[in-house]
Amino acid sequence: MRAAELAGLDPGEVAHSAIESRDLTGARDIASVVDARIRHRIYALLPQPQRPWSERVPVLADPERHAYLTAIATMMDDRKQRLGHFAAEHQPPWAVTALGSVPGD
């Protein structure tokens, strides 16, 4: 389900379509059958790039809570940028191993 969500699909829709796609009569392990159907559907899908944290703040009725979450999300976006710049500038071995050398441009 997490892979479906990362690929931009609605997990509820994926589960519903897996259950409704064919009859489950005779299945000895219904959970395994549904799992196999889901895996077959999402196997080739690629995760979508994550949107910035500030775009994922939920709408809340309390404006103070919303402002607080928005401020935290903005700080998380800033931290992500700082970490990226640091990794590009200093090229720590773990980053080079995982991502390769930083391009010249």
**Among residues 43, 53, 40, 49, which one has the least CA distance to residue 8?**
49
- Measure the CA–CA gap between 57 and 72, rounded to whole angstroms: 9
pLDDT tens digits along 1-33: 888 888 888 889 999 999 999 898 898 999 999
**What are the residue boundaries of the structural domains of the chain, listed by start?**
2-42, 53-99
**How many other C-beta atoms lie within 10 A of the C-beta of residue 18?**
20
Which pLDDT belongs to residue 78? 97
Which pLDDT belongs to residue 104? 80
- In this predicted structure, the answer to whether residue 44 has a pLDDT above a threshold of 80 is no
Arithmetic mean of pLDDT, 54-70: 95
